[in-house]
């Protein structure tokens, strides 16, 4: 293929968008690139275009070899990826506790086998707080591409005997089906829509459609100028005005994808001003190192955070982010020069395609086996004291707190409304007071403790992970359906004695919450809002273990997120003006700036950044009962 410097420039736009987004760079209190995650979608379009152009061209000329294609993919993708994974494994083994190594081990195996998108679909929300502690989270997009590379050439092989028009219809048809699936899943199962191939394939196939001549070529210079400028405008608008809270990908991903497609297509036969800017040497160089930069920027950011907790660094400052960015560029340049280029071009590595694939398989096997042994090696290396071992062993399972999704605590990942068992979860008692707890996973944290501390009350429950208990807030279909059922069907007729609302509150939730309180106050004599949880920058058991190992109790205070106190203060003031009872979880746990970290039995209050253990839930329930007796004469 003819080299397209403007495509390298487009790669630079894509990777810089992702890198800056992941660093959470703020200016004047605003995230400067809140939609930078769409850089991945731009990469998908570019990859689909280049791969299809290559495969389709070779098929037309009758010289396509699937073995050679996979060999080229292995040379392009594997060396830098496997080297980055091995370095991450060594750093984590040396600097991180066995509990962190255990989580990393699974992701290492998944990324090596190119199924990390499926692994993270099952275990991690890309936009959730815990995601920033997953060094290999970004490999989900590589897994999507590799899976596409496995199946798409086979599709082209199957249809190559048919006419060009039929081939176009098949490719366009598959792309439209994939887009429809993505549009449906983004409301019913957002995690599946985000991570999985069948809802992302259409983005790569937009590039495929361009490469196969589906769209008429642009030969008019003025039209090329307009199309490329419009493409850049669509990308800039997406990067600057999209946010993590919007439904994505689905139809929202059309804008950045079409923007990338317009720029690519406009540059086939014409040279626009946008194309010239993208072809500038500094921009093009970033495009050349874009793969290595994408590979390294995220694990460097995560590993610096993990190491930073050990040394009590403030990992949210601008200097820290600048250092992470500079290290990312330096490492990416070295990786591109010493790892990527030699394996792709140097004569010394030019072995046969079959040998290349065999070597790749052997390295994959070594990484998988090494990953499986990481936990054992970590425990041998650290030899933790019994006190620390007891702390870091705290998990949802070991504390008895059920984190698996039950009929009263459901997951939007499932996309199934019928998993909520209303007959069980909303069963009223004729002999007891009836209180209902509504909210997300943080509301679910409270239920078991409230039941044990208040046996005289029958607690009903309607909770779903990530679902804010408010009116009209954008979100997944399952969340909206659950809250609409509660607010407009169940509560108006149930006549409960009390309603408890709890969630991982943000500043932006307050207007929605106020409107919800006006409605709920007509449904029950007592409506209580539970404030935000105390949160930490890392999981609490690990921080406690580090503070013991270093004999530094101040480590916990340094690692506590200060923004939650500000939100708590804001909610207390605003809801007090409305006369809404407000239980400050912060005041229950923190006194005079000192925050309690363990319950009465010595178990940490939280098992991660802020979700309560079962013991933590019981401790909070006692505090809530004391507050209720003091403020209201009862809960």
What residues contact residue 389 under an 8 Å CB cut-off, 6+ apart? none
Spatial CB neighbours of 373, under 8 Å, sequence gap ≥ 6: none
Q: Is the dihedral of CA 283, 289, 290, 296 positive or negative?
A: negative
> Contact at 8 Å (CB) between 432 and 454?
no
491 or 603: which leads in pLDDT: 491
Please report, for residues 34, 153, 214, 489, the alpha-carbon distance to residue 236 in angstroms, rounded to integers and kept in the order given: 11, 32, 26, 43
pLDDT band of 402, cuts 50, 70, 90: very low
Q: Which residues pair with 500 in a beta bridge?
A: 437, 528
| Res. 346: pLDDT tops 60 | no
The pTM assigned to this predicted structure is: 0.87
What's the CA angle centered on 76, arms 70 and 78, to 5 degrees? 85
User: What are the phi and psi torsion angles at 503 (to 5°)?
Assistant: -165, 175
Distance of CA 344 to the CA centre of its chain: 31
Gyration radius (Cα) of the chain, Å? 27
The confidence score (pLDDT) of residue 14 equals 97
- Between the CA of residue 307 and those of 100, 129, 298, 300, 504, what are the distances in Å? 12, 18, 14, 10, 27
DSSP collapsed to 3 states, 466-495: CCCCCCCCCCCHHHHHHHHHHHHHHHHHHC
- Number of other residues whose CB lies within 10 A of the CB of residue 219: 10
Is the pLDDT reported for residue 396 higher than 70?
no
User: Residue 234: which pLDDT band, with cuts at 50, 70 and 90?
Assistant: very high
CA distance 466 to 585: 19
Task: Identify the band that residue 562 occupies on the pLDDT scale cut at 50, 70 and 90.
Answer: confident
Question: What phi and psi, each to the nearest 5 degrees, are found at residue 407?
Answer: -65, -20
| Averaged pLDDT, 349-372 | 80
Compute CA 593 distance to the chain's CA centroid, rounded to the nearest angstrom.
32
Q: Phi, psi at residue 215, to the nearest 5°?
A: -100, 135
HEC profile for 572-631? HHHHHHHCCCEECHHHHHEECCEECCECCCCCECECCCCCECHHHHHHHHHHHHHHHHHH
Residues 144-180 pLDDT 10s: 999 999 999 999 999 988 998 999 999 999 999 999 9
pLDDT digits (tens, 9 = 90+) for 102-161: 889 999 999 999 999 999 998 877 666 667 788 999 999 999 999 999 999 999 999 988
β-pairing verdict for 409-410 and 457-464: parallel
Residue 127, Cβ density class (10 Å: 0-12 exposed, 13-18 middle, ≥19 buried): middle
The pair of structure tokens assigned to 471 is: 């009116």
Tens-place pLDDT, residues 84-97 = 999 999 999 988 88
Q: Distances in Å between the alpha carbon of 296 and those of 29, 330, 410?
A: 27, 10, 35
CA 548 from centre of chain: 31
- Per-residue CA distances from 231 to 39, 203, 263, 274 (Å): 14, 15, 6, 9
- Please, what's the b/e burial string for 162-185 (b: 16 or more CB within 10 A of its CB; e: otherwise)? eeeeebbeebbebbeebbebbbbb
Query: In this predicted structure, what is the pLDDT of residue 100?
Result: 83
Secondary structure of residue 96 in the 3-state scheme: coil
The whole-number pLDDT of residue 63 equals 86
Instruction: Classify strands 526-530 and 498-502 as parallel, antiparallel or unpaired.
Output: parallel
Per-residue pLDDT for 494 more than 60? Answer: yes
Do residues 445 and 612 make contact, with C-beta atoms less than 8 angstroms apart? yes
DSSP 497: S
Token reading at 84:
């980055």
Helix (H, G, I), strand (E, B) or coil at 439: strand
Q: What's the burial of 494, exposed, middle or buried (CB within 10 Å: 0-12/13-18/19+)?
A: middle
Helix (H) or strand (E) holding 333: helix 318-335
H-run or E-run covering 498: strand 498-502
Residue 306: the pLDDT is: 84
Which residue do the tokens 């509504």 mark? 438
- Angstrom distance (rounded) from CA 355 to CA 67: 11
How many whole angstroms separate alpha carbon 217 and alpha carbon 237?
25
Q: Residue 269 contacts by C-beta under 8 Å, 6 or more apart in sequence?
A: 217, 218, 219, 224
Report for 52-66, 491-505, 554-568, 593-607: range of highest mean pLDDT? 491-505
Residue 230 binned pLDDT confidence (cut-offs 50, 70, 90): very high
Question: 434 near 460, Cβ under 8 Å?
Answer: yes
d(CA 483, CA 235): 34
- The residue written with tokens 């809960």 in the block is 635
CA-CA distances (angstroms) from residue 98 to 112, 376, 572?
A: 21, 9, 40
The 3-state DSSP class for residue 19 equals helix
- What share of the chain in percent tops pLDDT 90? 58
Over residues 428-456, the pLDDT tens digits come to: 999 999 999 999 999 999 999 999 999 99
At residue 440, the pLDDT reads 92
Which sign, positive or negative, has the C-alpha torsion 115, 120, 126, 130? negative
Is residue 464 within 8 A of residue 483, CB to CB? The reply is: no
What's the number of CA atoms in the CB half-sphere (13 Å) around residue 192? 18
Q: Which residue has the tokens 């907790």?
A: 309
Partners of 590 in the β-ladder: 595
3-class DSSP assignment, residue 83: helix
First to last CA, the chain: 72
Label residue 345 exposed, middle or buried (CB < 10 Å: 0-12, 13-18, 19+): exposed
Identify the residue whose tokens are 């790669």.
11
């Amino acid at each position: 293929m003819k080299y397209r410097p403007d495509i390298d420039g487009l790669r630079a736009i894509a990777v810089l968008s992702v890198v800056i987004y992941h660093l959470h760079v703020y200016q004047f209190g605003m995230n400067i690139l809140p939609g930078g995650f769409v850089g991945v979608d731009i990469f998908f379009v570019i990859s689909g275009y280049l791969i299809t152009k290559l495969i389709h061209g070779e098929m037309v000329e009758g010289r396509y070899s699937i073995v050679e294609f996979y060999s080229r993919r292995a040379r392009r993708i594997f060396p830098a990826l496997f080297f980055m994974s091995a370095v991450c494994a060594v750093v984590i083994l040396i600097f991180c506790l066995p509990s962190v190594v255990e989580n990393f081990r699974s992701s290492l195996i998944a990324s090596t086998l190119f199924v990390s998108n499926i692994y993270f679909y099952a275990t991690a929300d890309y936009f959730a707080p815990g995601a920033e502690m997953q060094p290999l989270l970004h490999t989900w997009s590589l897994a999507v591409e590799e899976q596409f590379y496995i199946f798409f050439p086979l599709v082209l092989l199957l249809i190559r005997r048919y006419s060009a028009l039929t081939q176009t219809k098949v490719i366009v048809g598959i792309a439209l089906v994939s887009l429809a699936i993505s549009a449906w899943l983004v409301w019913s199962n957002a995690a599946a829509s985000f991570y999985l191939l069948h809802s992302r394939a259409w983005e790569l196939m937009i590039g495929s459609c361009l490469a196969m001549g589906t769209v008429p070529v642009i030969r008019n210079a003025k039209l090329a100028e307009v199309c490329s400028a419009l493409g850049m405008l669509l990308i800039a608008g997406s990067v600057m005005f999209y946010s993590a809270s919007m439904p994505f990908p689905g139809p929202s991903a059309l804008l950045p994808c079409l923007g990338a497609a317009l720029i690519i297509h406009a540059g086939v036969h014409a040279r626009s001003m946008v194309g010239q800017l993208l072809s500038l040497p500094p921009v093009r160089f970033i495009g050349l190192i874009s793969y290595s930069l994408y590979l390294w920027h995220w694990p460097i950011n995560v590993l610096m955070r993990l190491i930073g907790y050990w040394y009590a660094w403030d990992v949210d400052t601008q200097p820290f982010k600048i250092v992470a960015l500079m290290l990312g560029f330096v490492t990416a340049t070295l990786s591109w020069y010493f790892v990527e280029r030699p394996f792709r071009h140097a004569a010394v590595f030019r072995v046969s395609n079959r040998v290349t694939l065999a070597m790749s398989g052997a390295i994959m096997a070594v990484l998988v086996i090494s990953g499986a042994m990481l936990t054992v090696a970590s425990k041998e290396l650290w030899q933790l004291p019994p006190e620390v071992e007891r702390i870091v062993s705290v998990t949802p399972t070991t504390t008895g707190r059920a984190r698996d999704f039950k009929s009263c605590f459901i997951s939007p990942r499932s996309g199934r409304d019928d998993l909520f068992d209303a007959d069980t979860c909303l069963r009223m008692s004729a002999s007891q007071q009836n209180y209902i707890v509504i909210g997300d996973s943080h509301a679910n944290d409270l239920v078991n403790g409230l039941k044990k501390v208040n046996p005289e009350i029958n607690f009903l429950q309607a909770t779903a992970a990530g679902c804010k208990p408010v009116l009209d807030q954008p979100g997944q279909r399952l969340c909206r359906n659950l809250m609409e059922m509660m607010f407009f069907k169940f509560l108006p007729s149930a006549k409960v004695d009390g309603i408890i609302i709890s969630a991982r509150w943000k500043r932006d939730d307050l207007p929605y919450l106020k409107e919800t309180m006006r409605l709920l106050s007509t449904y029950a004599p007592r409506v209580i809002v539970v404030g935000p949880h105390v949160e930490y920058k890392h999981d609490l058991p690990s921080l406690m273990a580090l503070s013991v190992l270093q004999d530094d109790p101040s480590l916990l205070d340094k690692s506590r997120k200060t923004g939650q106190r500000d939100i708590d203060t804001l909610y207390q003031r605003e809801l007090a003006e409305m006369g809404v009872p407000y239980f400050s979880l912060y005041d229950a746990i923190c006194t005079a700036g000192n925050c309690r970290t363990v319950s009465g039995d010595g178990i940490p209050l939280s098992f991660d950044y802020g979700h309560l253990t079962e013991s933590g839930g019981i401790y909070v329930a006692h505090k809530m009962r004391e507050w209720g007796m003091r403020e209201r004469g009862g809960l």
